[in-house]
Chain A
Amino acid sequence: MSVESDAAAQITQLLGGRIGASLLLVEQPQPDTLRFEIDPGAVRAAAKALVQDTPARYLITVGIDERPLDRGFAIVHLFSLDSEHLFLALDCAVDSENTRIDAITPIVPGANWAEREFRDAIGVEPEGHPDPRRLMLPDDWPEGVYPLRRDFRYDYHPPSAGNVRPVLREPPKGSSVIPMGPFFPTLEEPAHWRLFVEGEKIVGCDYRGFYNHRAIEKLGDSAMTYDKLPFLAERICGICGFIHSTCCCQALEKAIGIQAPARARYIRTIMLELERIHSHLLWLGIAAHIVGFETLLMQSWRIREPVMWLTEEISGNRKTYGMNCVGGLRRDIPADLTAKIQEVLLPVERELRAVRQAIVGDTTILARTKGVGVLTRQWAEQIAVVGPPARASGIAIDARVDHPYAAYDEVPARICVQEGSDIWARVVVRMDELEESLRLIRAATAAMPGGPIRTEIAEEIPPGRIGISVVEAPRGEAVHFVMTGGDNRPYRWRVRAPTYPNLQAVPAMVQGETVADVPITVGSLDPCFSCTERVEAVDIRNAKTRVYSREELLRMWQEKSAPGGER
């Protein structure tokens, strides 16, 4: 993908005009990446210039402990300039003694969680952040211990800070609280919404999530080497694992400066689209279950099943294929399976049409979804929502088109956009995307070239290179940022799952709705907490009947999750 150099020059000129001498360095490590080193004092002005004067869209912020490299702490704000297929990185070096930086959340509301996360992880304080509470660390994590600093060993277990309750907002006067979660029938994973209600009408809400942080990023940049990293990435999510492993591989390939062979890129495209089909069908079932339509749940999961069998034949697994490696693939699709893909998809397509008719013809579904959970285009842009929720609010973004990867430059995808901004629009977008995926798989299998499936990495990977990659997951755009380090390991690896920005839109979506609309509104985002939090569940077995106090449960949990504890 060639970048028009005048776009890069224009942005550089704009930033130079706004922050003057605070713009320390401009470089273009890859054709699609533009990196600005700026003075931390100018970060807010620079972010303002990007989001207000260019169509740049906020992606994520990476906090890197670069003290061993004598740069203090690096705070890298990533933006995407979709029209120019360009990633912009605002890299600020924060002094290691005075760990403060201006928060950009007042200008870019979408940066809310990301700034709280680097505060938790490396201990840089975002100044002027509207909500500087703990985000991802557990409640009993001691203050002043920052897990993503380089001097924090990945297997270190800090002492508990005792019985600390999370800081949760109090309801406004006259309203009461209905808790939704941490465990709730329609949430497949733990998340705690605190709904403030007047009668059944919602007047506000608060969120506490990140209950089971798995520290995958820490593992990735300490314990794992490059050859293991894609397999760890695949385990970020049980549904879109291949998306994360592809994204991780692509980021590393970019950093290294190699490209996977054409056949590997086509196979990645096919697998990614298969994953989208089964993920959307899974979502359709869950959404139907939330509105009490059990038959559609069963039917859509039945339709989904042949797709899983197909991926099992291709990769040996229904999920978590383990096919990706840096530089290409470990496993080819044999010729007879290429024919079988078409065969399997035909009935899927036919049945999808029937399901579509059933949904369109259902007054109740329409009444439950039309005009409910509205996320206006303006809010969606501010929070930097991605994927189907963004497209349902009329924002035509799709990583497959904005930053073409795998074979999407040769088999272009069509962006499915709806203007409704409500849950119904999200349903329609996903139904359209299912058809689009089927078309893409056909096109990709027909055009798939022969040849090798893996590019060998000839020499050792030099440290200090960065690679940014995005992949359009079923839930939206996944972002992986890699900075290479020595010892055959990445120095920093940052994953942003699509649910991360999307969940931040929930308060705006449920405001003024009734309690009954909350599950389907949250469900319409197709939330995936394990991606977002990079999580795992701890199970507590109690053999005898007795009452456990909160303290006892906490203690049990601490004993079990201590290194070497019972699992």
Chain B
Amino acid sequence: MTPELKGFLLLAAIKVVVGFGGLLLAVALVTWLERRQAGFHQDRLGPNRVGPKGLFQPIADGIKNFIKEELVPADADKFLFLIAPALVFTPALLLFAVIPFAAPLPVSFDFELPVVGRFVHDGVMPMMVADLPVGLLFVLAISSIGVYGIVLAGWASNSKYSFLGGLRSSAQMVSYEVALGLSVISVFILAGDVTLSGIVENQQQKLWYVFPLALGFALFVVSALAETNRLPFDLPEAESELVFGYHTEYSAMKFAMFFLGEYAALITMAALMATLFFGGWDIPFTTWDESEPSLLKTALTFGAFATKTVFFVFMYIWIRWSLPRFRYDQLMALGWKVLLPAALSYLMLLSGAIWALEQLGIEQGPLYGFILCIVNLPAIYALFWVIDSGRLVFGQRLQRRTMN
């Protein structure tokens, strides 16, 4: 093994430990944030007893989950029952591997250790666990695996509630994956690249994609909500009718795995929104971050990335505590009858616009973005008009009259 390879492996190992460790820590903090924020939305305090501001509450919860009794239903398929939580938890973590969370860092070292030998690294280290050439395709592929965990959990529990929850969930996630994938294609078209580092670089140099792809972003947000089973799309769990659906029969750490998986997926989706549409680790209004890699730059861009991600996590929680749950058939209707046609026509519109811009010879830049932005506006209006069915925004006055 060459010293260079050993250096690379060492760095990779450190990134895996730091990256996933950080993600798990973030998951714990997000569970705390969710409960505190819900408290503030609801005019109460939320957990504030364990540690400063209740920050150690997740630790207490973790300990509780470890020492609780593990229950396996007598008629359950034991192997599938045990493997299902891992199948939900692992993909949620894996997704984070391809997300660049800061600007590349210059790392040089050359040292020798007894027994293992010499380690050498010289150059720029990308701040992501794995810069895969397939990038975003990896995200789409791995996020589909999570469905298996839920379906298997529902099947293996041998309970009617779990089974229905599992079925609903598979239908829901498969449906929304289509809309999610189509909304991401708009990013591919604009970036001409599927690696996330490439997409970030593109946005950093030109324009955040949220402006030229506003509708694509809206579709992505809605699909991501459904994909992560968050309220208002938490039908698989459906506490009120299915007794928490697929994890009715799970307890202790196996339940905690589902729980952690859900929050890990939440963070990953928030990070994806930041990466795909809001420039990733790009610091807005400066060109300084396009300069040479340095430790300071890496630290500051990580701050920018974290801020954006936390904002989207916050938005997720905000949505959850502001909306009631849809009914299952309404959710499927929204997915297939609204989001899918919307995403398809949006792709056609976008491709047409980009083709026209190329014919006119306009380079990617502010004018290019501005024109695409203008193209998006009527599309957004049309989509919301359809989703609204002339009720909420457009017909509220009418409705108030009928109520009074």
Contacts and interface: CB of A to CB of B under 8 A. Distances in A.
B and A form one assembly:
yes
A298 interface: yes
Interface string B362-401: 0000000000000000000000000011011000100110
Interface residues on B, range: 35 or more
B240 A292 contact: yes
Contacts of A520: 240
A363 B241 contact: no
Interface in B312-356: 321-330
A434 to B, nearest CB: 13
28 contacts: A200-B164, A290-B240, A291-B324, A292-B231, A292-B324, A293-B324, A293-B325, A294-B42, A294-B321, A295-B321, A298-B43, A302-B43, A356-B403, A360-B396, A362-B392, A363-B389, A363-B391, A363-B392, A364-B232, A364-B326, A367-B326, A367-B327, A368-B327, A428-B403, A431-B403, A514-B327, A515-B164, A545-B69
Nearest to A519: B240
Interface stretch (A178-186, A218-226, A459-467, A526-534): A178-186
Contacts, number: 101
A292 B330 contact: no
A289 B69 CA distance: 28
A290 B403 CA distance: 22
Interface string B259-293: 00000000000000000000000000000000000
Interface string A286-322: 0011111111101100100000000000000000000
B328 A200 contact: yes
A365 interface: yes
A516 B327 contact: yes
Nearest to A363: B392
A295 B42 contact: yes
Most buried by A among B41, B43, B388, B403: B403
Nearest to B325: A292
Contacts of B243: 184-185
B392 A361 contact: yes
A517 interface: yes
A518 interface: yes
Interface string A387-431: 000000000000000000000000000000000000000001001
A361 B396 contact: yes
A365 B399 CA distance: 13
Contacts of B392: 361-363
A517 B396 contact: no
A289 B43 contact: no
Q: Which 10 A-B pairs have the closest CB atoms?
A: A292-B325, A298-B42, A293-B324, A291-B324, A186-B240, A363-B392, A519-B240, A364-B324, A290-B240, A516-B327
B38 interface: yes
B359 to A, nearest CB: 41
A293 B244 CA distance: 15
Interface residues on A, range: 35 or more
A292 B322 contact: no
A366 interface: yes
B44 A298 contact: yes
A473 B286 CA distance: 66
Interface string B230-264: 01101100111111100000000000000000000
Interface in A330-388: 356-357, 360-368
B238 to A, nearest CB: 7
B42 A289 contact: no
Contacts of A185: 239-240, 243-244
Contacts of B238: 292, 516
B328 A295 contact: no
Given A362-B324, A364-B326, A516 B399 contact: no
Contacts of B44: 298, 302
Most buried by A among B327, B396, B400: B327
Given A298-B42, A360-B403, A361-B392, A516 B328 contact: yes
Contacts of A288: 324
Contacts of B242: 515
Interface in A149-191: 176, 178-179, 184-186
A67 B42 CA distance: 59
Most buried by B among A294, A299, A302: A294
B160 interface: yes
A292 B164 contact: no
Most buried by B among A178, A362, A516: A516
A290 B240 CA distance: 5
Interface in B216-232: 231-232
Given A200-B164, A361-B392, A517 B327 contact: yes
Nearest to A303: B43
A303 B41 CA distance: 14
A364 B391 CA distance: 10
B235 to A, nearest CB: 8
A525 to B, nearest CB: 15
A366 B391 contact: yes
Given A360-B400, A363-B388, A515-B241, A295 B232 contact: no
Contacts of B38: 294-295
A302 B41 CA distance: 12
Interface in B3-47: 38, 41-44
A292 B327 CA distance: 10
Most buried by A among B44, B242, B244, B325: B325
A357 B399 CA distance: 10
Contacts of A289: 240
